[in-house]
Amino acid sequence: MLRNSPSGEADVAVLRRKATNLRRHMLTMARGQGAGYIGQGLGIADLLAALYFHELRYDPENLGWADRDRFLLSTGHYSIALWAALAEAGIIPVEELPTYGADDSRLEMSTLDTTPGVEMIGGSLGHGLGQGVGQALGLGVHRSDARVFVELSDGEMQEGSTWEAAMSASHFRLDRLVALIDCNGIQADGPVVLDMEPVADKWRAFGWETVEIDGNDMQAVVAALAGAREKNGKPKAIVLRTLPGKGVPRIEISEKSHFFRVDVSEWDGIIAAFEKSEGGTA
């Protein structure tokens, strides 16, 4: 059955509850091995909830449907967020979530496209946007009206390949292409190591119609996605300012936010606190 309609109205309250469910799934996953890229996942939970339960047109029973909207997760290490969304969408069994990162699990810590619902292999960072350009061009050749959404990180804006893709997208007038840039302020070595501001102006200079929003404000996320539907010959960029660990205070303040590991005993406390603060929103 087809999910989401191209012009549907968003019920923000419902989407917020979906985001809470995604966060809950991520906590379940990270508890499995005691670790994971959960800070990043929690940070983009609101975006993924808005995509998978409002904006993206896809059929969970027919993942290969040629006219589906594509969501490309360029940051393979954010896999935890994608697994949460795919589980909530009924594509992956919820019971499988605790295997995240375990030997022989399909829910790898860094995505492989052998897991259902994955459109590209992320992890070698800087690959996503160019592959999105290719998919957007290809859909045009097939006269499909499907769209392509590419998530990428602030760290990925340091790879030259990102800007090669950005330049080609505006050249090819790919208005079906939406870049979702997760500016969470961190990368492997800590707080972002290069000054990349002003981010939105860079995308504008490359010919992208660009908005900058609080990526943890569901209303703003939904509005930005609606704005990106316009067929005006320009690729769309949404710069999302997100908070790593959003919704889980213990992870929000962690210095380990690029990779978060604590003892199993501590996970239980983190999860209990989360359920208490989210009481009744499931």
Ligand X SMILES: Cc1ncc(C[n+]2csc(CCOP(=O)(O)OP(=O)(O)O)c2C)c(N)n1
Minimal CB distance residue for ligand X: 155
Sole window of 128-136, 149-157, 202-210, 232-240 interacting with ligand X (rule: CB under 6 A): 149-157
**Should residue 110 be labelled a site residue for other proteins when binding is judged by CB under 8 A?**
yes
Q: Which two tokens stand for residue 234?
A: 């320009």
Handedness of CA 86, 103, 124, 253 (dihedral sign): positive
Closest CB to Mg ion among residues 139, 183: 183
Sole window of 7-15, 17-25, 64-72, 182-190 interacting with ligand X (rule: CB under 6 A): 182-190
Task: Give the Cα-Cα-Cα angle 215, 1, 178 (nearest 5 degrees).
Answer: 30
Among 48, 91, 120, 186, binds ligand X (CB under 6 A): 186
How far is Cα 120 from Cα 262, in angstroms, rounded to an integer? 30
**Should residue 123 be labelled a site residue for other proteins when binding is judged by CB under 8 A?**
yes
75 binds, among other proteins, ligand X, Mg ion, none (CB under 5 to 8 A by kind): ligand X
Amino acid at 143: R
DSSP for residue 51: I
Near other proteins in 68-97, by CB under 8 A: 76
Residue 153-192 contact track with other proteins, rule CB under 8 A, x = bound:
--xx-xxx--------------------------xxxx--
Alpha helices in the chain (DSSP H): 12-33, 38-43, 45-50, 79-88, 128-141, 160-171, 199-205, 218-227, 249-252, 264-277
Sole window of 4-12, 83-91, 118-126, 245-253 interacting with ligand X (rule: CB under 6 A): 118-126
Task: Tell me, by CB under 6 A, how many residues bind ligand X.
Answer: 16
Burial state string for 152-185 with b = 16 or more CB within 10 A and e = fewer than 16: bbbbbbbbeebbebbebbbeeebbbbbbbbbbbe
How far is Cα 189 from Cα 83, in angstroms, rounded to an integer? 25
β 35-36/260-261 pair status? antiparallel
Amino acid at 139: L
- What's the residue count for the chain? 282
Residue 169-208 contact track with Mg ion, rule CB under 5 A, x = bound:
---------------x-xx---------------------
Amino acid at 114: T
How far is Cα 176 from Cα 96, in angstroms, rounded to an integer? 34
Shortest separation between residue 122's beta carbon and ligand X, angstroms? 9
Among 153, 162, 210, 257, binds Mg ion (CB under 5 A): 153
**Should residue 75 be labelled a site residue for ligand X when binding is judged by CB under 6 A?**
yes
**Should residue 194 be labelled a site residue for other proteins when binding is judged by CB under 8 A?**
yes
**Residues of the shown chain interacting with other proteins in the complex, contacts defined by CB under 8 A:** 32-35, 76, 98-99, 101-105, 108-110, 112, 121-126, 155-156, 158-160, 187-190, 193-194, 258-259, 261
**Residues of the shown chain interacting with ligand X in the complex, contacts defined by CB under 6 A:** 40, 75, 77, 123-126, 153-156, 184, 186-188, 258
